[in-house]
A and B are shown apart, each in its own frame.
Chain A
Amino acid sequence: MTVNDRIDKATGDLLKRAVVTRFEIEELVVVPIFAVLIALLLGGLTMVATGVDLPTIGLSYASLLQGSVGSLNAISETLTSAAPLTLAGLGIALGFRAGLFNIGAEGQLLIGGMAAAVVGFSLQGVPLVIHLPLALVAGMAAGALWASIAGWLRAATGAHEVISTIMLNLISFRLVDYLLRNPPIQRPGRSDPISKSILESSELPALLQWLDPNLRIHAGIILTLIVVFVVYWLLFRTTIGFEFRSAGANPDAARYGGMRSGLIIVSVMAVAGALAGLAGANQVLGVLGRASPGFSAGIGFDAIAVALLGRGHPVGVLFAGLLFGALEAGGRNMQVGAGVSIDLITIIQALIVVFIAAPMLVRTLFPFAFAKRGNQREGS
């Protein structure tokens, strides 16, 4: 072998990817599964503690399962709930990656949904292929602008985004109420706050209504899948994502690498706001058909848990969104079928997040499910 051959070989060896270790598989797959199981178990114990009898508990979980994946309708409901959670969750996850804690998805979602509604009911006689994209883009743009305020405040004055996004949430709640009570948005003839209905040409088309008119699943779920891919691409395949991730992982090194932190902060917030705004547009154009006070229904807050659960990775967020969507759809069924309050679902969701955030706890509780560690302990 000549020297050059040897160097080529050494270079080639360096390009081999490491095999995924058992430890990584456990962290990504086994821990979440056990987290869900133990959360369900503790949820059951909560019911016992509040005096629910055992058969009812059994019935509750049966209807939870039935209502989330037990029928075509259940799956349609799960996916319909999962779409906005995933979209807004992606935005928050993007923020995490860049070191920003965006609590403002709820407000961005409201503002984005409002903008989509306005475009949705005001453009008469425009074909769907133009009207729908316009309405979606309006939602994204409004969400982006709204979130950029917090980004700009952080970059220009150092005001922490947690505080400013919470404040922007509060402002957005009242702003939306106000807009809904006044022309030209308020529906004519109504005194309560509600917008005009969107035109059919701006609706996200239902996908399976030819099978059964009750199936609510709409094109928003396809849009969500596309956006998961786009966010993945943005984060890991583009210079912009590289800058976002660098700024989040080590701001000093990002500055050293010539990246402009102020610009990054504002762009991250804008993209996150656009995604939350898209989630709002998805609700208005795909599910509700109009805007009303509080139509965001806490999706923007649940999305924080979804982003955490998804470990800030787009694909993880998709799975987390699906899980939360399933819990929500199943929870509604549970309330109807077993008469157990839907609040239980909130408890279970919270428990799942707690256990996912504490993998060591899960490992200690279920030692049989994991390989013996010891040689994996991370040092400094």
Chain B
Amino acid sequence: MEVELRGITKRFGPVVANSDVNLTIRPGEILGLLGENGAGKTTLMNILSGLYRADEGEIIIDGKTVDFDGPGDAIAAGIGMVHQHFMLVPVFTVAENVVLGVEPVGALDRLDIEAARRQVTDISTQYGLEVDPNAIIEEIPVGLQQRVEIIKVLFRSADVIVFDEPTAVLTPQEVTEFFGIIRSLRDAGKALVFITHKLHEVLEVADRISVLRAGQIVGEGDPKTSTDAELAELMVGRPVRFTVEKSPRKPGETVLDVKDLHVLNERDEVAVDGVSFEVRSGEVVGIAGVQGNGQTELVEAITGLRMPIEGTIAFEGHDITRASARERHRSGMAHIPEDRQRSGIIGTFNIAENMVLDTYYDDRYSSGINLRWPDIYRSTAEIVTDFDVRTNSVFSLANHLSGGNQQKLVVARELSRDIKMMVASQPTRGVDVGSIEYIHKRIIESRDEGDGVLIVSTELDEIMGLSDRILVMFRGRIVAEFEGGKAGIQEIGLAMAGAGAAA
């Protein structure tokens, strides 16, 4: 099935998200779609999948113009989308989620769960999408949840499948598996669109590349001949530096001192199991590790969102083990949370309200209990300009920002105040190459001003590029420590897989 988007224009009030876009999606091919944050990738694909209606232009499937009046029509026409934020019912099983809305029914409209399971298993084996149909969604890792989303789309017999930043939440291992899946779908004759900010991924897996900038197609790339640098320049409109420029560190006093920390997770299992380390002023410490090895709980304990069961945390020499999140924050600790949608922003609040989410009470923004909105708006406008958060007004809702710009909003909020310590989880998740360069530069500037920085990331490149010291976390413990710039990717990778844990 061949799909052609012709002359697509989409406006949101004064914002032009797509402007006269032409794009062809062919069967048996993976189309890589690149573009800066806010370039209009998600919007374009939402139009294709019937979620939005274009203001101008048409969608042509196999030569016939179609008109989608909602996602249902697009699904019926064979177009499916795997969204960046999954839409699964957490307490249902895999099979139940897959058939939801199109359940096979037996006599008297009874749900035929056996048939559902069988159908799920059939699709799994056909495309190599291994997953247990009886598993409960909330108990399986993100990578498997994504498979369920893919099976869901296939179950509705989609011939065109759009993936919006599917790899942003996957571990490197899961990414490799995902590539296997997407290739087998291609070989089965499906037409695929793959959106990502990781250029090497498109170069590896795409057959053709299109680049969007400011709502327009600005170029095509051939994965066989293009390089990251060319693609990045095409996206951003200027050359981008991929490595972080930094001077040797000048470590000072200890800012953060964690001793023998034990933390439980939601299910009351030990997630952090006796971790000790320190972060000095003027240094970046990176924590590498496969997701789910206790990093989340460690960060929550340091930032005051989860109480440890044992051990101590000291900040600038004061014991803060039992201090509230507000107290830590007040004394100069900043926190970029790992999941911006869950806790970093409030979607139904505007950008200015989000910009002061954790500083509204201080005397820059309020007198007594009175918020000084004019000051908040002015300061937000400055920060937004500074960090190039793409929006046309500080009064826009955070929900209406593109994914990457939401992340930039969170980073801007935390980096724009006077701090002594930065705790950053996945600081550049979903952010485009140009903005990654800028965020990294600001983090290093913060270090050079004498702040302590703790980075937790599943991106090894990011950890290796930024850190002066690298700690590797495995099953709740720190199993290895490397000097930044000296360690090889191999060694760190082995430690992450637990190789050093036995020794």
Chain A interface residues toward B at CB < 8 A: 7, 10-19, 21, 237-240, 242, 245-246, 249-250, 252-253, 255-260, 374-375, 377, 379-380
Check B342 against A252 for contact (C-beta < 8 Å).
yes
- Which residues of B have CB within 8 Å of A258? 304, 324-326, 329, 358
A257 to B358: give the CA distance in the assembly, Å.
4
Cβ contact within 8 Å between B305 and A375: no
CB distance from B361 to the nearest CB of A (A): 5
Determine how close the nearest CB of chain A comes to the CB of B141; give it in whole angstroms. Answer: 21
Nearest CB of A to B421, in Å: 15
Please, which residues of chain A bring their CB within 8 A of the CB of B381? 11-12, 14-15
Q: B482 on the interface (CB 8 Å rule)? A: no
A sample of 10 inter-chain contacts (CB < 8 A) reads: A13-B392, A15-B394, A19-B13, A238-B369, A238-B371, A252-B343, A258-B325, A260-B324, A375-B55, A379-B51
Report chain A residues within 8 Å CB of B395: 17-18
B151 to chain A, nearest CB (A): 20
Determine which residue in A13, A256, A377 has the highest number of CB atoms from chain B within 10 A of its CB, and name it. A256
Given A17-B393, A239-B371, A257-B342 contact (CB < 8 Å): no
CB distance from B342 to the nearest CB of A (A): 5
Q: Choose, from B154-162, B188-196, B346-354, B493-501, the stretch at the interface.
A: B346-354
- CB-CB < 8 A to A13: which residues of B? 392-393
User: Is the CB–CB distance between B385 and A242 below 8 Å?
Assistant: no
Q: Is the CB of A14 within 8 A of B384?
A: yes
Q: What would 11 more interface pairs be, CB under 8 Å, given A10-B385, A13-B393, A17-B395?
A: A11-B381, A11-B385, A18-B393, A250-B347, A252-B342, A256-B343, A256-B344, A257-B360, A258-B358, A375-B54, A379-B46
Which residues from chain B contact A245 at a C-beta distance below 8 Å? 349
B382 at the interface (CB under 8 A from A): yes
Asked if residues A14 and B345 are in contact (CB atoms below 8 Å), the reply is no
| Cross-interface CB contact of A253 among B13, B357, B370, B380, cutoff 8 Å | B357
Chain B 320-349 residues near chain A, CB threshold 8 A: 324-326, 329, 335, 337, 342-349
Kindly identify which residue among A246, A255, A374, A379 contacts B325, using a CB–CB cutoff of 8 Å. A255
How many whole Å from A96's CB to the nearest CB in chain B?
13
A249: chain B residues within 8 A (beta carbon): 346-349
B53 to chain A: which residues have CB within 8 Å? 374-375, 377
The reply to whether A255 and B13 contact each other, CB–CB distance below 8 Å, is no
Q: Using Cβ atoms and an 8 Å threshold, which residues of chain B touch A7?
A: 385
CB–CB A237/B371 < 8 A: yes
With A18-B396, A239-B360, A380-B51 known as contacts, the answer to whether A253 contacts B326 (CB < 8 A) is: no
| Residues of A contacting B46 in the complex (Cβ-Cβ under 8 angstroms) | 379
Q: How does the 8 Å CB contact mask read for B12-23 relative to A, with 1 for contact and 0 for none?
A: 011000000000
The chain B residue sitting closest to A6, CB to CB, is: B385
Min CB–CB distance B85 → chain A (angstroms): 7
| B52 proximal to A (CB < 8 A) | yes
Chain A residues with CB under 8 A of B344: 253, 256
Which chain B residues (44-93) contact chain A, with CB distance < 8 Å? 46, 51-55, 70, 83, 85, 87
- How far apart sit A209 and B411, CA to CA, in the bound complex (Å)? 62
B410 to nearest A CB, angstroms?
A: 10
Q: Is B366 an interface residue (CB 8 A)?
A: yes
Per the bound structure, the CA–CA distance linking A374 and B394 in Å amounts to 26
Whether A375 lies near B360 (C-beta < 8 A) is no
The contact size tier of chain B is 35 or more
How many Å from the CB of B244 to the closest CB on chain A? 25
Q: Is the CB of B280 closer than 8 A to any CB of chain A?
A: no
Q: Which of A16, A239, A379 contacts B361 (CB 8 A)?
A: A239
CA distance A253 to B358 in the complex (A): 9
Interchain CA distance A250-B324 in the complex, whole Å = 19
Question: Which of B52, B87, B305, B373 lies in contact with A377, CB distance below 8 A?
Answer: B52
Q: Within the complex, what minimum Cβ distance (angstroms) separates B268 from chain A?
A: 17
Given known contacts A246-B357, A374-B53, A379-B51, A14 and B385 CB-to-CB distance under 8 angstroms: yes
Q: B10 at the A/B interface (Cβ < 8 Å)?
A: yes
Q: Determine if B118 is an interface residue (Cβ-Cβ < 8 Å).
A: no
B391 CB within 8 Å of chain A: yes
Give a binary string over B360-392; 1 marks a CB under 8 Å from any A CB, 0 the rest: 110000100111010001101110110000011
Known contacts A18-B393, A18-B395; A256/B335 CB under 8 A: yes
Which of B11, B85, B325, B391 contacts A256 (CB under 8 A)?
Answer: B325
Also in contact, A250 and B346, with CB within 8 A (given A14-B381, A375-B53, A379-B51): yes
How long is the Cα–Cα vector from A379 to B400 in the complex, in angstroms?
Answer: 10
Among residues of B, the one whose C-beta sits closest to the C-beta of A242 is B360
Kindly list chain A residues whose C-beta atoms are within 8 Å of the C-beta of B366.
239
Find B377's partner among A15, A237, A239, A379 (CB 8 Å cutoff): A15
Chain A positions within 8 Å of B349 at CB level:
245-246, 249
Please indicate the chain A residues that have their CB under 8 angstroms from the CB of B305 in the complex. Answer: 255-256
Cβ contact within 8 Å between A237 and B385: no
A256 and B377: CB pair below 8 A? no
Residues of A within 8 A of B353 (CB): 242
- Which of chain A's residues have a CB closer than 8 A to the CB of B357? 246, 253, 256-257
**Most chain B CB atoms below 10 A, which of A14, A237, A238, A245:** A14
Q: Contact: A14 with B391, CB < 8 Å?
A: yes
Min CB gap B200→A, angstroms: 28
Contacts of A242 in B (CB 8 A): 353, 360, 371
How many angstroms from the CA of A12 to the CA of B381 in the assembled complex? 8
Bound state CA distance, A305 and B63, in angstroms?
Answer: 52
CB distance from A270 to the nearest CB of B (A): 15
* CA–CA, A18 and B46, complex, Å: 24
**Given A16-B393, A256-B305, A258-B324, does the pair A237, B370 have CB atoms closer than 8 Å?**
yes
Closest chain A residue, CB of each to CB of B377: A15
Name A240's closest neighbour in chain B (CB-CB).
B369
Q: State in angstroms the CA–CA spacing of A16 and B396 once bound together.
A: 10
Q: Which residues of the partner chain A approach B324 to less than 8 Å between Cβ atoms?
A: 258, 260
Complex alpha-carbon distance, A380 and B337, angstroms: 21
A259 to B326, CA, bound (A): 7
In the complex, A19 Cα to B353 Cα: how many Å?
19
Question: Which B435-451 residues have C-beta < 8 A from chain A?
Answer: none
A-B complex: 10 closest residue pairs judged by Cβ atoms: A258-B326, A379-B51, A14-B381, A252-B343, A257-B358, A256-B343, A11-B381, A374-B53, A238-B369, A257-B357
Residue of B nearest to A7 (CB): B385
CB proximity of A245 to chain B, nearest CB, Å:
8
Q: How many Å from the CB of A22 to the closest CB on chain B? A: 11
Min CB gap B203→A, angstroms:
29
Select from chain B the residue with minimum beta-carbon distance to A256: B343
Binary contact track B182-224/A, C-beta < 8 Å → 1, others 0: 0000000000000000000000000000000000000000000
CA distance A18 to B352 in the complex (A): 14
In chain A, what residue has the closest Cβ to B339?
A252
In the bound complex, what is the Cα–Cα distance between A193 and B81 (angstroms)? 66
A380 contacts which of B11, B83, B348 (Cβ < 8 Å)?
B83
Do A238 and B370 touch across chains, with their CB atoms under 8 A apart? Answer: yes
Q: Enumerate chain B residues within 8 angstroms of A252, measured Cβ to Cβ.
A: 342-343
Q: How far apart are A57's CB and chain B's nearest CB, in angstroms? A: 39
B346 CB to closest chain A CB (Å) equals 4
CA gap between A292 and B385 in the complex, in Å = 62
Q: Once the chains bind, are A237 and B358 in contact (CB under 8 Å)?
A: no
Residues of B within 8 Å of A240, CB to CB, are: 369
A233, chain B: closest CB distance, angstroms: 9
- The CA of A256 and the CA of B346, in the complex, are separated in Å by 11
Give the chain A neighbours of B87 by CB distance below 8 A. Answer: 380
Nearest chain B CB to A257's CB is how many angstroms away?
A: 4
Question: Does A375 lie within 8 Å of B10, measured CB to CB?
Answer: yes
Residues of B within 8 A of A11 (CB): 378, 381-382, 385
Q: Which residues of A contact B384 (CB under 8 A)?
A: 14
Complex Cα–Cα for A213 and B260 (A): 79
